[in-house]
Amino acid sequence: MPELQPSVWNLEHLIQGFSHLMQTRKVDAVVALDDYDVEKAALIRETFRIPGMGQTTHRYFRDKLAMRQKAKDSGISVPEFTAVFNNDEVNRFVEHIPAPWVLKPRSEASASGIKKLKSKDELWDALNALGEERHLFLLESFKPGDVYHVDSLTFNQEIVFTSASKYLAPPMQVSHEGGVFRSKTLGRYSDEFKALEEVNAKVLLSFGLINGATHTEFIRGKEDGKWYFLETSSRVGGAHIPDLVEASSNINIWREWAKIEDALLKQKKYEVAKPTGYYSGLIVALIKDKEPDYNQFECEEVVKFLPIDYHVGIVYKSNDSSVVQERLDYAAAKIHSDMLNILPPKSKPTS
């Protein structure tokens, strides 16, 4: 069936339209391809009794407040947080948890709409500015540290593939300040990979995921070295992360997700190939020209140059982690000095 578009917000009309569609078509599965479709897909499944993730479970993969509460209740470390429904609760939180804090939309994708706040006055100005939409946000402690992402495939409640990577420039930083987005995969036998694989499995098991692709983010606290759960989603990672994962593992997450859905529909066995053990790196940035000159980045470690208008995008792979790091560092320096375009903020800077 056609992809559900993010612009479809009237859920009653969505159900009516889907009901009309089903009069002439038999629908066996509904797949949400991005964060904005998760709620709609769950509603359709519940309404028309189509197998798959329902409305209760979908909240753990869409609503950041629900996922934090569920993680906390499951014994998974999360940054200190609070809902912002009640003034007294907000005041108690800021009295006990030192600034800075992060005000986050509960249902936006990626780093969209996040504000970093450094004082109580700044916080209340931000909350008051939200007006009737205040309940759609949450407040949490800002944890300095390295941010990681884990990209997984699950079949019949078994995690059959895991890739773990470290952001060299976290999405929140790039979203707020502009710059160069970079990520690099971890060695599959490294201590970091093993720790992330374990905590990721605990998250997905606790949240009740049965099948599909997931993209989950964690932060390793700079002060205490602990792993903190940030957020998860029941879809493939964005920002060309699937290209990064495929370069290191030879596993195409989009293709494997489709195979999982096909196996479920046909009630057949599914197996994923054994991943290869390369290191890979990804770099993406907004630039001034419509098409970058990629000649200056040519090297044997390049897997592909990404064809995105007004962006430079490169995927590298190597048997040597340090070589991937060198390529990413060289490209980042070159982009910063000669190519980078940073758009002016839409409003007053928030961090």
What is the chain's pLDDT, residue by residue, as a tens digit (351 residues)?
A: 444 444 446 888 888 998 888 889 888 889 888 777 888 888 888 888 888 887 778 889 989 999 999 999 999 999 999 999 999 999 999 999 999 999 999 987 655 689 999 999 999 999 999 999 999 999 999 999 999 999 999 999 999 999 999 999 766 666 656 689 999 999 999 999 999 999 999 999 999 999 999 999 999 999 999 999 999 999 999 989 999 999 999 999 999 999 999 999 999 999 999 999 999 999 999 999 999 999 999 999 999 999 999 999 999 999 999 999 999 999 999 999 999 997 665 544 333
- DSSP SS3 for 151: strand
How far apart, in whole angstroms, are the C-alpha atoms of residue 30 and residue 46?
11
Q: Which residues pair with 164 in a beta bridge?
A: 150
The DSSP element (H or E) to which 12 belongs, if any, is helix 11-22
Q: Which residue has the tokens 């706040």?
A: 117
Q: Does residue 242 have a cis bond before it (omega within 30 degrees)?
A: no
What is the pLDDT at residue 94? 97
- Helix and strand counts by DSSP (H, E) for the chain: 11, 12
φ, ψ at 166 (rounded to 5°): -115, 125
Beta bridge partners of 279: 318
Query: What DSSP letter does each residue of 195-216 carry, written as one string?
Result: HHHHHHHHHHHHHT--SEEEEE
Do 213 and 235 meet the contact criterion of CB atoms below 8 Å apart? yes
pTM: 0.87
3-state helix, strand, coil in the chain (%, to 5): 40, 25, 35
Is beta strand 137-141 parallel, antiparallel or unpaired with respect to 101-105? antiparallel
- Stated as kind and residue range, the H or E segment containing 262 is helix 253-266
| 3-state SS class at 82 | strand
> Quick one: pLDDT at residue 93?
98
Instruction: Residue 322: count other Cβ atoms within 10 Å of its Cβ.
Output: 9
Burial class (CB in 10 A: 0-12, 13-18, 19+), 44: buried
Handedness of CA 83, 86, 90, 93 (dihedral sign): negative
How far apart are alpha carbons 27 and 22 in whole angstroms? 7
